[in-house]
Amino acid sequence: MAFLKILLLASILGIAIWIGTNTMFPGSPPELDLNEWWGAKDLRGKLDSSIRPFKIKFTDEMIKDLKSRLSNHRKPAPGLEGAAFTYGFNSGRLSWWTRYWSEQYPFLEREQFLNSLPQYVTNIQGLDIHFIRVKPKVSKGVTVVPLLLMHGWPGSVREFYEAIPLLTTQTEGYDFVFEVIVPSLPGYGFSEGAVRPGLGTAQIGVIMRNLMNRLGHKKFYIQGGDWGAIIADAMATLFQGEILGMHSNMLMVENTCSTLKRLVGEFIPSLIVDSHLADRMYPLTKYISYLLEEFGYFHLQATKPDTVGVALSDSPAGLLAYILEKFSSWTRMEHRLKEDGGLTFRFTANQLIDNLMMYWTSNSITTSMRLYAENMSSKNRALDIGRYYSTVPAWALQAKNELFYQPPHMIRSKYSNLLGVTVLDDGGHFIAFEMPKVFVEDVLKAVKAFRQFHKTKTEL
């Protein structure tokens, strides 16, 4: 058995070296069209570059229709005894949530809350992009620095509402504070989706960069989780002279070096990861089983998002079950074993429904899911952004229950200036939403290190 393992390891090493011959030194990153048009063709050349105030509106007509759909949804098939959330959303809990949304969710109060932060819309490359922008009030000697926050799926700008006041208020021990810009990704919430195929994470990175330029920021800091993390990775690769630093709570490097190391660690974990963190990566059979069991949604959305979208945009009960199941398991996987899915472990019912309203009110679930198909298209996979190096200073926040984990040396195979890694013994995929204070503290710590990095570089 030991001989077979050695033979298999040698084979893996040989294959990896062969594959890596043309990928370890890939040269300069690709150059994307910075003006690629994603809106209606007949509007090209008529770009309105104004920045317009925006308010979220829960109209009486929409609320009436929503309540009717929630009250009259078809009763789901009974759940299996003891299955809890292991087969998906526990149908036995559905009526509680639909009743709460219809009868107890305070629509007017939540609309006012969601509008408590200043919001705007501006047209970038043919698409109206919605964003929150909060400028801090500062005292003398305090520097204001721009920070772009990017969400993912099935989240929204709602994830950052508790963190934004903390980011825009000066914290003791820091001589800077953030101007925060939080866009809805194209096709999410109140940002328009593309009218033609091709808008993947790299192209969204271009839109985000152009948005920041529109707002007067030629250089800025970025932060992202989920798709936001992948978009941040693209921006830190394509615009290395403009991104001052990248903080990510799902920083993953996918290149030949990281793949090779991951495979080697299956045989000798101690070479790759500290023993107390080994269970976050190994055994690979556990990781593969997790992918097979939990990533069916990914395959559906990467192949037939519009089919799934028909059901989810027609039924608020279906949308609720589909999205809240992710807030259950992606916060803690063991929540699948709880009858209620542990949904109120870190979130209130109003917080979770606020996020659902971002999708329902805007009818954006279909356009949001298309990002999976666009990013997995042959054209966008060929860009292979992950294999290009970046000198942008980076910082990783690694929650205990995040979907993926990589040790620092794997991340450094792309990010030579990885300045810090924070490993948490708590938290999950939606860390800014779950633990806003912990999230903000880490962003502050990272940006302080980024600023010192640039200061030292300038002095040299």
Q: Which two tokens stand for residue 267?
A: 């045989």
- Cα angle: 377, vertex 380, 384; to 5 degrees: 125
Distance between CA atoms of 418 and 411, rounded to whole angstroms? 8
Cβ-based burial of 216 (10 A; exposed 0-12, middle 13-18, buried ≥19): exposed
Q: Which two tokens stand for residue 388?
A: 């290009």
The DSSP-derived string for 162-174 is: TTHHHHTS--TT-
Distance between CA atoms of 174 and 142, rounded to whole angstroms? 9
Among the listed residues 372, 388, 405, 415, the single catalytic one is 372
Distance between CA atoms of 13 and 7, rounded to whole angstroms? 10
Residues ≥6 apart with Cβ < 8 Å to 70? 98, 99, 101, 102, 316, 317
Residues 123/47, Cβ–Cβ less than 8 Å: yes
Distance between CA atoms of 253 and 329, rounded to whole angstroms? 23
Q: What is the CA radius of gyration of the chain?
A: 22
Q: Is 226 a catalytic residue?
A: yes
- Residue 333: strand, helix, or coil: helix
Among the listed residues 151, 217, 335, 429, the single catalytic one is 429
Among the listed residues 161, 188, 226, 354, the single catalytic one is 226
Tell me the residue type at 25.
F
Q: Is 425 a catalytic residue?
A: no
- Cα angle: 289, vertex 295, 298; to 5 degrees: 155
The DSSP-derived string for 105-156 is: S-HHHHHHHHTSS-EEEEEETTEEEEEEEEPPP--TTPEEEEEEEE--SS--
Tell me the residue type at 100.
Y
Q: Is 372 a catalytic residue?
A: yes
In the block, residue with structure tokens 């800091």: 221
Tell me the residue type at 120.
Y
Question: What residues are labeled active site?
Answer: 226, 372, 429
